[in-house]
């Protein structure tokens, strides 16, 4: 490709809208342009990267037995009503009506469509297992799209769905996908970690997330320094330290006046009681039932765990009016003692003694409260977020936390959708059974952003070779000098002939401009042709990720490039 013909508008300055590095660099390097909030166009270089990621994903899906199909983006409401998700999915679904006022959605995911599709044409155990996938745009009307491609409202996703005759079959499909996903991220050359995850709104009972490691990631990952355990903080199991002794003498409850003291920190200061010896009480509306959740004062409640335990559809923190109607106290004065709702206490609280909490009366707190004696929770459960320093649930190790970007997510769905939508088959004995499903997603466009988050320097992007838009850029220092252009063209043709994707920067720009653009766009190999070295029939070959270059004789350039790129 000639730079003079390439549509690659680069920006010298950082667009004001871009906050994180991948967003800034993808805009500046001319890979993407915003069309609307969370909705982007991919320019030639950007789309080349997307296509390369897609191709790696496609190859691995095919290798794992997947078959590629393409399903509609516009999906009729009836299918979603059948699965029960039309009302549950909420505002995140783009909805539209046709001229007859029939309802449709822009597909946020495709369980409904594919289940209906398979239901229509698969009726026998002989046709299973079946693994179908597509690579396509998805639409989710996010509350807050942000960070460029990281959280868009329209994004490119690979989604595969597996259909099996039973749980054992699903296990096999799931393991195949797990292995394929590992290969994909290895091939993409990204540092990643697989973590146990919550299966969230999609449902099911086993789930892993594939996280590209990056400080700017939106997800926190808990991992054990000693064993293989790793999990999303939303999922990470918190265990109680069994060695904690709780045999101190129980002191009588004391009600203390705490005027204006509301937060945990207020009480730390005012009563000199450490946060770890307080509990905080949060009131939630779980499908319209008011419940209380208690965790240690210095812990964070994990709403996802709580929601899973409650088994409710919707979980919202109660607003202050609701709280006041229940107990005459505002936020900041709540406690489990004498509270007329079901109380869910975190596991840790069972090991605490003589702790402090709100007295359900403004400006008062209790001291020396004890579980069992002063209040009896509905149940004692794991509802807090894991933190660095917690004990590993699998070994004796200590947990640590890093950040990551969720680029892949695999779920076991079981029969949730097949049952709701009547996707059944006849087994060997002629018995009708629901298909056992799994679903497996990869955020293609997000993977591109994640790759940038992990691979850049002060000059721009440093693409991993497997997904670089081009492999090599040839820069004649002065495009007006015919000998330089001649050498550039001859190398260009030689590399192209070998299938090495090459750009020749034939623009009549000063060398500095070309170098800056080459660095910004992150092409892995740069070949510079300058007057001095050319006299000796040599050119400079430089790797984007190293600072020093090598002088290579003209007839050895191809070898040098091949050597750097490996088997691409």
Partner RNA sequence: CGGGGCGUGGCGCAGUUUGGUAGCGCGUCUGAUUUGGGAUCAGAAGGUCGCAGGUUCAAAUCCUGUCGCCCCGACCA
Chosen residue from 32, 224, 231, 264 binding RNA by CB under 7 A: 264
Nearer of residues 208 and 280 to RNA, judged by Cβ: 280
Residue spans of beta strands (DSSP E) within 60-151: 67-68, 74-76, 95-97, 103-106, 130-139
Please tell me the distance from the alpha carbon of residue 56 to that of residue 41, in angstroms, as a whole number. 22
- Residue 153 or 416 having the CB closest to RNA: 153
Q: Which of 358, 377, 404, 522 binds RNA (CB under 7 A)?
A: 358
Is 72 near RNA (CB under 7 A)? no
Q: Residues 305-315, buried b or exposed e (16+ Cβ, 10 A)? A: bbbbbbebeeb
DSSP state, 199? -
Asked if 308 interacts with RNA (CB under 7 A), we say no
Q: Is 15 in the site for RNA (CB under 7 A)?
A: yes
Residue 223 corresponds to which tokens in the numbers above?
């991992």
The verdict on 274 binding RNA (CB under 7 A) reads no
Pick one of 511, 558, 560, 568: the residue that binds RNA (CB under 7 A). Answer: 511
31 near RNA, judged by CB under 7 A = no
Q: Which is nearer to RNA, 395 or 551 (CB)?
A: 551
Q: What's the rounded Cα separation, in Å, for the pair 109 and 25?
A: 29
CA dihedral 519, 525, 531, 536 (to 10 degrees): 160
Residue from 519, 541, 557, 561 that binds RNA (CB under 7 A)? Answer: 519
Indicate the residue among 15 and 338 with the shorter CB distance to RNA: 15
Q: Which of 13, 87, 288, 321 binds RNA (CB under 7 A)?
A: 13
Span of 8-16, 113-121, 171-179, 494-502 interacting with RNA by CB under 7 A: 8-16
Among 512, 548, 555, 567, binds RNA (CB under 7 A): 512
Question: What would you measure as the largest C-alpha separation in the chain, in angstroms?
Answer: 94
Best CA proximity match to 92, nearest among 153, 18, 26: 153
Sole binder of RNA in the list 34, 123, 400, 403 (CB under 7 A): 34
* Closest separation in Å from C-beta 168 to RNA: 38
Q: Does 297 bind RNA (CB under 7 A)?
A: yes
Per rule CB under 7 A, is residue 263 in the interface with RNA?
yes
Q: Which stretch binds RNA (CB under 7 A): 66-74, 106-114, 369-377, 517-525?
A: 517-525
What is the C-alpha separation between 453 and 446, in angstroms, rounded?
10
Do residues 408 and 443 lie in contact, with contact meaning Cβ atoms separated by under 8 Å?
Answer: yes
Tell me how far apart the alpha carbons of residues 253 and 261 are, in angstroms, rounded to a whole number: 19
Examine residue 146 and tell whether it contacts RNA (CB under 7 A). Answer: yes
Contact status: 403 vs RNA (CB under 7 A): no
For 440-500, the three-class secondary structure string (H helix, E strand, C coil) is: EEEEHHHHHHHHHHHCEECCEECCCHHHCCCCEEEEECCCCCHHHHHHHHHHHHHHHHCCC
* 331 is a contact residue toward RNA (CB under 7 A): yes
- Give whole-number Cα distances, 363 to 276, 329, 375, in Å: 21, 9, 20
Task: Return the residue matching tokens 């496609």.
Answer: 58
Q: Which is nearer to RNA, 207 or 278 (CB)?
A: 278
Instruction: Select from 4-12, 161-169, 232-240, 424-432 the region that touches RNA (CB under 7 A).
Output: 4-12
By CB under 7 A, tell whether 525 contacts RNA.
no
Residue 344 makes contact with RNA by CB under 7 A: no
Strand partners, 432: 426
Phi-psi map region of 327: left, alpha, beta (phi>0 left; psi -120 to 50 alpha): alpha
Q: Which of 99, 321, 532, 548 binds RNA (CB under 7 A)?
A: 532
Which listed residue (4, 316, 379, 432) binds RNA by CB under 7 A? 316
DSSP letter at 81? H
Q: Does 483 bind RNA (CB under 7 A)?
A: no
> What's the chain's length in residues?
568
Q: Least distance to RNA from the beta carbon of 516, Å?
A: 4
By CB under 7 A, name the binding residues for RNA: 10-17, 19, 28, 34, 36-38, 143-147, 262-266, 278, 280-283, 297, 300-301, 303, 316-318, 320, 323, 331-334, 358, 459, 477-478, 480, 508-513, 515-517, 519-520, 528-534, 540, 542
């Amino acid at each position: 490709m000639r730079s003079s013909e390439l549509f690659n508008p680069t920006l010298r300055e950082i667009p004001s809208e871009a906050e994180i590095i991948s967003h800034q660099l993808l805009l500046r390097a001319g890979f993407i342009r915003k069309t609307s909030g969370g909705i982007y166009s991919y320019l030639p270089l950007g789309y080349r990267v997307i296509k390369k990621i897609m191709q790696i994903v496609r190859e691995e899906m095919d290798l794992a037995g997947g078959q590629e199909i393409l399903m509609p983006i516009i999906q009729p409401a009836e299918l979603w009503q059948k699965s029960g998700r039309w009302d549950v999915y909420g505002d995140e679904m783009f909805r539209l009506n046709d001229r007859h006022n029939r309802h449709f959605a822009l597909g946020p995911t495709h369980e409904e469509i594919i289940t209906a599709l398979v239901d229509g044409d698969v009726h026998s155990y002989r046709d299973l297992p079946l693994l179908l996938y597509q690579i396509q745009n998805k639409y989710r009307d996010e509350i807050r799209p942000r960070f460029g491609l990281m959280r868009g409202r329209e994004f490119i996703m690979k989604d595969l769905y597996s259909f099996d005759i039973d749980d054992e079959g699903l296990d096999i499909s799931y393991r195949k996908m797990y292995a394929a996903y590992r290969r994909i991220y290895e091939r993409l050359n990204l540092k990643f970690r697989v973590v146990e995850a919550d299966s969230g709104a999609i449902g099911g009972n086993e789930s892993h997330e594939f996280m590209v490691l990056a400080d700017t990631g939106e997800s926190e990952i808990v991992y054990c320094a000693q064993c293989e355990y790793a999990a999303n903080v939303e999922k990470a199991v918190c265990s109680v330290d069994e060695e904690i002794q709780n045999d101190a003498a129980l002191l009588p409850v004391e009600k203390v006046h705490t005027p204006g003291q509301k937060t945990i920190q207020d009480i730390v200061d005012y009563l000199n009681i450490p946060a770890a010896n307080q509990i905080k009480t949060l009131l939630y509306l779980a499908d319209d039932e008011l419940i209380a959740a208690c965790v240690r004062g210095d812990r964070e409640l994990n709403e996802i765990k709580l929601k899973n335990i409650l088994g409710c559809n919707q979980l919202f923190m109660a607003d202050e009016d609701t709280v006041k109607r229940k107990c005459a106290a505002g936020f900041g004065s709540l406690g489990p003692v004498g509270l007329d709702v079901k109380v869910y206490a975190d596991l840790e609280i069972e090991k605490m003694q003589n702790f402090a909490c709100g007295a359900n009366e403004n400006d008062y707190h209790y001291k020396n409260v004890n579980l069992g004696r002063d209040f009896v929770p509905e149940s004692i459960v794991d509802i807090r977020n894991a933190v660095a320093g917690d004990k590993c649930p699998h070994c004796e190790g200590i947990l640590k936390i890093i950040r990551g970007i969720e680029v892949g997510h695999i779920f076991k769905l079981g029969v949730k959708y097949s049952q709701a939508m009547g996707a059944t088959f006849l087994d060997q004995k002629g018995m009708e059974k629901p298909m056992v499903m799994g679903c497996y997603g990869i955020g293609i466009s997000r993977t591109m952003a994640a790759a940038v988050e992990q691979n850049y320097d002060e000059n721009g992007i440093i693409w991993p070779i497997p997904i670089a838009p081009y492999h090599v850029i040839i820069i004649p220092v002065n495009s007006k000098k015919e000998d330089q252009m001649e050498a550039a063209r001859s190398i260009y043709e030689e590399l192209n002939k070998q299938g090495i994707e090459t750009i020749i920067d034939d623009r009549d720009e000063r060398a500095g401009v070309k170098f800056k653009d080459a660095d910004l766009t992150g092409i892995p190999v740069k070949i510079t042709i300058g007057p001095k070295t050319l006299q000796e029939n040599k050119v400079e070959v430089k790797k984007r990720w190293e600072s020093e270059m090598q002088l290579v004789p003209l007839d050895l350039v191809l070898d040098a490039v091949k050597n750097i790129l490996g088997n691409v």
